Chain A
Amino acid sequence: MMYLDLLVCLVLVLSGVAAMNTRNLVSAAVMVGVVSLLVSYLFLRMGAPDVAMTEASIGAGLSTIIFLIAIRRTEEEER
């Protein structure tokens, strides 16, 4: 279990760094969503299922969706 935690934390930090470094805004938004989803796993591990549900539905779901909507509405050119 400890190794799985270590792996999840590593992926968390790496996708956070990647979200801040990539030029593609859509993939940055999706990586922030991935961070939220993995954090909700950590909440589940530390005995907080309520918080895990909130983070998975609001942080990883709705938050990513409104980021994608905002990115679509601020595109440089119409395709």
Chain B
Amino acid sequence: MKQILSVVLLLAMGWFLVGLVPLGQPTEPGRVAQHYIDNGIDENRGANLVTSVIVNYRGFDTLGEVTVLFLSVAGAGFVLRRRDGLVRHEHRPSSEILQTGARMLFAPIVVFGAYIFVHGHLSPGGGFQGGAVIASAVMLLLLADRSHHLPHGLMHWLESMAGFGYVMAGVAGLVVAGSFLSNQGVLPLGTWNRLFSAGIIPIIYILVGLKVGTELSSLLDVMIDTGRPARQEGGRS
């Protein structure tokens, strides 16, 4: 009975979706998108229009997004805080080759992630992708050596400072140009397609990259539960 009901529901939803989307004809950009495409270079000097939209035109949205990501990570940590009843595995220490290889690969992967988010306004990529790459480097370290302790104090400080810097960049736009996260006149816009260009966009994207990288690293650390003995006072540093 339930199965039939769900199949009927899904068929109705599929019919609705097929009727909703314009099958077959390509879409032209709307008026707002056309403005971004025509004036994006003049207003922001960032070659990558997606970055301009994310960091500048819809920067407030991105500020909310990193906050949501932080809240979900904090929520996961809160849900998994008490250790009673959770499955805990005995793990053998991994081999010397694996541990040394992971430590050797850690720095190049972090540098690659930093490269991705520093060049976010010029090429595909940006803070979110670079942050994910950095988190994958941290995950490699955690998987190779389960007893590895992440520097939680440094990570929390970095994350708070990145969020604070994002808001401060917005306030600078409010003071100079009269609107939050404005890119006009805060920093020189520079020339098109150079590393030092696009005003505050690369600075904000670097901060977003640091924040997302530390957030996802703490998420992996919370999920993977490196097998430290549960502390009696609860809560983790």
Contact = CB atoms under 8 A, between A and B. Distances in A.
Interface of A: 48-54, 57-58, 61-62, 65-66, 69-70, 72-75, 78
A48 B126 CA distance: 13
Contacts of A75: 87
Interface stretch (B14-22, B172-180, B219-227): B219-227
Interface of B: 48, 50-51, 86-87, 89, 116, 124-126, 128-129, 132-133, 135-136, 139, 216, 219-220, 223-225
B186 to A, nearest CB: 24
Nearest to A55: B129
A73 B88 CA distance: 7
Contact of A50 (B86, B125, B135, B219): B125
Given A57-B132, A62-B136, A66-B220, A74 B87 contact: yes
Given A51-B50, A65-B136, 13 more contacts: A50-B50, A53-B116, A57-B129, A57-B136, A58-B128, A61-B136, A62-B132, A62-B139, A62-B220, A66-B223, A69-B220, A69-B224, A78-B87
Contact of A53 (B129, B136, B219, B225): B129
Contact of A66 (B50, B89, B129, B219): B219
B133 A57 contact: yes
A72 B129 CA distance: 26
- 8 nearest A-B residue pairs (beta carbon): A49-B124, A57-B132, A50-B50, A53-B129, A69-B223, A58-B132, A50-B124, A66-B223
A18 B89 CA distance: 29
9 contacts: A50-B48, A50-B50, A50-B125, A50-B126, A52-B124, A54-B132, A57-B136, A66-B220, A69-B224
Contacts of B124: 49-50, 52-53
Contacts of B126: 50
A48 B225 CA distance: 36
Q: Which of A52, A61, A70, A74 has the most chain B CB within a 10 Å cutoff?
A: A61
B139 A54 contact: no
A61 B87 contact: no
A54 B136 contact: no
A47 B175 CA distance: 37
A53 B50 CA distance: 13
A72 B89 CA distance: 9
B89 A78 contact: yes
